[in-house]
A and B are shown apart, each in its own frame.
Chain A
Amino acid sequence: MDFAYVLWFVAVFSSIMVVHSKEVFHSALYLALTFVAVAGLFLMLDAEFLAVIQILIYAGAVTVIALFAIMLTRREEGVDVLGLSLNSMKIISVVVFGVVIISIIVFSQVGLEEKLIYGSTYNIATLLFESYILHFELIAYLLLGALIAAVYLARRDENES
């Protein structure tokens, strides 16, 4: 059985649950699961660089921003979002971390000297800085503008409170 099918079903199920789950907090967690599954599918498609970027930006940054927005706009106080006690959550995270580390050590087969030709970061960087350098600079300006806009919008006025 191809592992891509598992990721396929995880991606579809978790994106349905983003729409369907009652608590918005759970939606954000399912959103992170969707992003991780899509990153795995990128790995299946020989796009290792994109898989890492996907986990860093989507599963890392965007999900955390969404969680911050949810917590800052929450009306009710002290909701137990997962229905678990703090100690059991600690045990669960330690177990998950251990399983991930052990499976990386046991199952990893790619050596450092192995050459990946198609989707290697070197080829992507060559294409980016030779053919698409103008687009790269425009994206840099876009990110700067978004940064300034986000800070401007979210700041608190001095005379407000």
Chain B
Amino acid sequence: MNPEGYFLLSALMLIIGGYGVIVSRNAIRVLMCLEIMMNAANINLVTFSRLAGDLSGQLFVTFSLAIAAAEAAVGFALILLIYRLYGTVEISVLSKLRY
């Protein structure tokens, strides 16, 4: 497949993930769409790394994976805390900034 195919896939996944972050009602689904957006960025990095013949892009993806794992752990812990406080994870219900 051409590099353009990978760039197109990256753009599509970024757009789908952003759409999901905006329209999702469930906080867990918002976090999953964030993971899709990070994956789209990773595809771009690996493709450019392959085109340039430079391994630094793959290293950046490794760092990005570590950050994504940390973000997922803290994010889902926050969601569990919100569920314990409010009894729901619906975004539209959680409109208060102060408990």
Contact = CB atoms under 8 A, between A and B. Distances in A.
The A interface, classified by DSSP as helix, strand, loop or mixed, is helix
Nearest to A147: B73
B24 A19 contact: yes
Interface string B52-88: 0101101101110111111111101111110110000
Interface stretch (A82-90, A105-113, A148-156): A148-156
Interface residues of B, number: 54
Contacts of B61: 47, 50
Given A18-B20, A73-B28, A41 B66 contact: no
Interface string B26-38: 1011011101100
A69 B31 CA distance: 11
Contacts of B42: 38, 50, 54
Contacts, number: 163
Contact of B49 (A15, A35, A47, A135): A47
B65 A57 contact: yes
Interface residues of A, number: 59
B13 A123 contact: no
Interface of B: 1, 5-6, 9, 12-13, 16-17, 19-20, 23-24, 26, 28-29, 31-33, 35-36, 39, 42-43, 46-47, 49-50, 53, 55-56, 58-59, 61-63, 65-74, 76-81, 83-84, 89
27 contacts: A11-B13, A15-B36, A18-B36, A19-B16, A19-B17, A19-B23, A19-B24, A19-B29, A24-B26, A27-B32, A28-B28, A28-B32, A45-B6, A46-B50, A58-B68, A61-B72, A69-B76, A73-B28, A73-B79, A73-B83, A131-B56, A142-B70, A149-B77, A150-B77, A151-B77, A153-B80, A154-B81
